[in-house]
Amino acid sequence: MTDPDRPYDALPSPGPRLAAVLATLLLLLAAVLAATSAWIVLVALAYVAVGVLLPRLRLRERPRYVAVLGSGLEAGRMPDLLTRRMDTGIERWAALHAEDPQVRLVLSGGQAPGQPRSEAAAMAEHARSRGVPDAAIVLEDRSRTTEENVAFTRALVADLLGPAAVGVLVTSGYHVPRVADLARSAGLAVLLASAPAVGLPWVRVVRHEVVMTLGRHPVVHALAALVVCVVVPAVVVLTRW
């Protein structure tokens, strides 16, 4: 008989099988969370590593142009980020120009709403102040996104120098992996050059770039994340339990 002062004695206690199932589910959840965290860190580290390693590669053919990608203007003037890209691009152009006077400096960036001029125009002004002659400067002044930077530069270079022309593409270090992916997709044969970026919120910047890069190949990355973050932990837990 059930003791009226202890009514919970009447409730059946979970059996060993139910306890084992609950423990397995909790262990699986912990494994999935751990694998997901590790996947996010791994992707971010891989992105940074690619950004460091790609600019160290060398082209077999001599580049025929240097293209600098815009990053936006502030009241019609170049911010520090874009000035650093330009200075890096001009240095690369000067080194190549010393051996080949026909090397071009392509400046890519359109006019954003509210700005008095295009990025390309501001970049050209800076290039002239650094001694780059007008004959060497080529403006791509229609693009408003990174994707358009690459696509319009590809079309401009193909018309000017031929579709097989190779070059150097200059952007900020954090931007290199995504630009490399875009250039590959566009068929642009380039060496990536990294300009320093100082004073940026790196965690937010890298997170944004990683998300944008993963978004270009969502199915592939979703399947990879599913395998790493769910399938592998499930197999490990279920086979060991």
pLDDT tens for each residue of 30-50:
877 877 777 777 777 777 777
Which residues, 6+ apart, have CB-to-CB distance to 135 below 8 Å? none
Span 59-114, pLDDT tens digits: 678 899 999 999 999 999 999 999 999 999 999 999 999 999 999 999 999 999 99
Which domains does the chain show, CATH number per domain?
15-56+201-241 (no CATH), 59-199 (3.40.50.620)
Which position has the token pair 């590669």? 57
**pLDDT at residue 159 greater than cutoff 60:** yes
Mean pLDDT of 229-235: 77
Which position has the token pair 């070059």? 167
- Phi-psi category of 58—alpha, beta or left, where left has phi over 0 and alpha has psi -120 to 50? beta
54 to each of 3, 144, 177, 225, 236, how far by Cα in Å?
A: 76, 25, 8, 24, 35
pLDDT of residue 4: 57
Regarding pTM above 0.85, the answer is no
**pLDDT classification of 154: cutoffs 50, 70, 90:** very high
